Amino acid sequence: MHPNGYCRFICASQHIVPDGFVFRSNCRWLVQTPARTDCREQWRNCPHVAKQCGNLECFDGIFNSVLFSLFNIIFAACIIQQLMPQFKQRQFLDFEKPVKELFDQIGQVKQLAEKNPKMNYSDTLQQLEQSILDKRKEITEHLTPWQQVQLSRHPDRPYTHAYIKRMCTNYIELYGDRNVGDDKAIVGGFGQLDGQTVMMIGHQKGINTKMRQLRNFGMANPEGYRKALRLMKLAEKFNKPVVTLIDTPGAFPGAEAEERGQGEAIARNIYEMMRLKVPVICVIIGEGASGGALGIGVGDRVLMLQNTWYTVISPENCSSILWRSWEKKEVAAEQLKLTSTDMKGFGLVDDVVPEPYGGAHWNYEETSETLKSYLIPLIKELQSVDPAVRVQQRIEKYSKMGFWEEIPE
């Protein structure tokens, strides 16, 4: 018990931590509760834990264990909770295998800590934790364009709903284009961003096979773009800023989409977004392919997350056209100059939002907070500009894009 009459527990690690320990951690949810409150009941009622774990046996077993066992298991659980991404079935890309090997070692040390409660494995766990961070940093610093494309498609990467959930409060999703139906590949609605009501719109791919089929893998139909335009016009009516989150391999190319006017829907969105009287900020959070991205990608400011791409065609399709094979996709990715650094160098995007070492999928909260810290000042900056001036600046911004050289006759 703490001298000031409080007992402590760490929500993020999902285990109680009595005050008898010297416990150092970067866990976000350190909660103190009055001594008269039963720690077990408080742990069960903690909103942060309730959303992540319902395994009370885990809690009961830890609570009754001996001191060294308790410390080691909590320490291991805390490390894994911080370093592992949100999904239990973590997936690793080919170039992430060195990190996977280190995680496997942490799992083995954790098992040893459970079997040998009198042994202290904290130093070993700290060394493995540092090795993982170093390896993630090393991977991030030496990514090829094709590897960045792979990271942008990582199955554990956060999508639009993940960002909205972490950045916004009081979010209310809106549905349908009031004409054909509701396209699940594009989502949107009003939410509050640091107290400022904004219209959030973005592509949603789905977090598992069933949801990806429902969301059509983030490939929107015409009704999706018309829904997005309807929401933008609604935001304009109530004078609220628009934030779009782009993550699509392209607009859906099916015959039924063409029959319903896919090209016209995208062109109409580009035209109308250019003239919106409210601030518009576009963020590429994953893939930014062709007209599918441009359909919600015209804004006063365009941002890209660090490990994303933005171009007219995917590397695989480019390779199949130029070399009649997908085998040259790495070369195509290099030649397309599609990375966030390239796009900023060309002046096609305004800024690059850094991601955690190894990619956004390692830490949803950190990525969301970083993006939010970019959005809030941009919204305030754009709101201070007269709407007519802002629209004119937007038109001039896109009119100046690209470069060319005139050959004298």
| Residue 339 per-residue DSSP state | B
Q: Which amino acid is at 344?
A: K
Whole-Å CA distances, 156 to 50, 342, 357, 362: 21, 25, 15, 8
Q: Which residues make Cβ contacts (< 8 Å) with residue 192, sequence separation at least 6? A: 168, 169, 170, 171, 198
Confidence band, pLDDT 50/70/90 cuts, at residue 57: very low
pLDDT at 283 over 60: yes
Fill in the DSSP letter of residue 177: -
Q: How far apart are CA 237 and CA 147, in angstroms?
A: 42
Q: Is the pLDDT of residue 284 over 90?
A: yes
Report the DSSP beta bridge partners of residue 345. Answer: none
Alpha-helix residue ranges (DSSP H) falling in 208-353: 209-214, 222-237, 255-259, 262-275, 290-294, 315-322, 329-336, 340-346
Q: What's the pLDDT score for residue 347?
A: 93
Distance between CA atoms of 200 and 283, rounded to whole angstroms? 11
Asked whether the predicted pLDDT for residue 8 surpasses 70, the reply is: no
Q: How far is CA 356 from CA 198, 248, 256, 291, in A?
A: 26, 22, 40, 29
| Residue, of 270 and 125, whose pLDDT is higher | 270
- Can you give the pTM of this predicted structure? 0.77
pLDDT at residue 352 tops 60: yes
Q: Which domains does the chain have, with CATH numbers?
A: 6-141 (no CATH), 147-399 (3.90.226.10)
Residue 64: other Cβ atoms inside 10 A: 9
- What whole-number distance in Å separates Cα of residue 355 and Cα of residue 408? 45
- Dihedrals phi, psi of 178, to nearest 5 degrees: 65, 25
- For 79, half-sphere exposure in the C-beta direction (CA atoms, 13 angstrom radius) is 26
Least confident of 33-47, 306-320, 362-376: 33-47
Is residue 297 scored above 90 in pLDDT?
A: yes
Decide which of 300 and 120 is more confident.
300
pLDDT score of 217? 95
Residue 285 has a pLDDT of 98
Summarize the confidence of residues 188-213 as an average pLDDT. 95
Is the model's pLDDT at 54 over the cut of 50?
A: no
Is 70 exceeded by the pLDDT of residue 220? yes
Residues 268-281 pLDDT 10s: 999 999 999 999 99
- Residue 88: the pLDDT is 55
Q: Please name the residues in contact with 105: beta carbons below 8 A apart, sequence gap of 6 or more.
A: 128
Cα(242)–Cα(280) distance, integer angstroms: 5
CB 353 within 8 A of CB 371: yes
> What average pLDDT score do residues 40-48 get?
42
The answer on pLDDT for 51 being more than 70 is no
Which of 163, 172, 234, 232 has its CA nearest to residue 204? 163
Q: Compute the average pLDDT of residues 209-227.
A: 96
- Residue pair 218/288 in contact by the 8 Å Cβ criterion: no
> Which SS3 state, helix, strand or coil, does residue 219 take?
coil
**Residue 15 bridge partners (DSSP):** 10
**Residue-averaged pLDDT of the chain:** 82
| Residue 352 or 45, more confident | 352
Task: Report how far apart, in Å, the C-alpha atoms of 227 and of each of 5, 90, 183, 286 are.
Answer: 55, 34, 8, 21
Comparing 310 with 83, the larger pLDDT belongs to: 310
DSSP state of 326: G
User: Tens digits of per-residue pLDDT, 65-119?
Assistant: 333 344 444 444 443 444 444 445 778 999 999 999 998 898 899 888 888 888 8
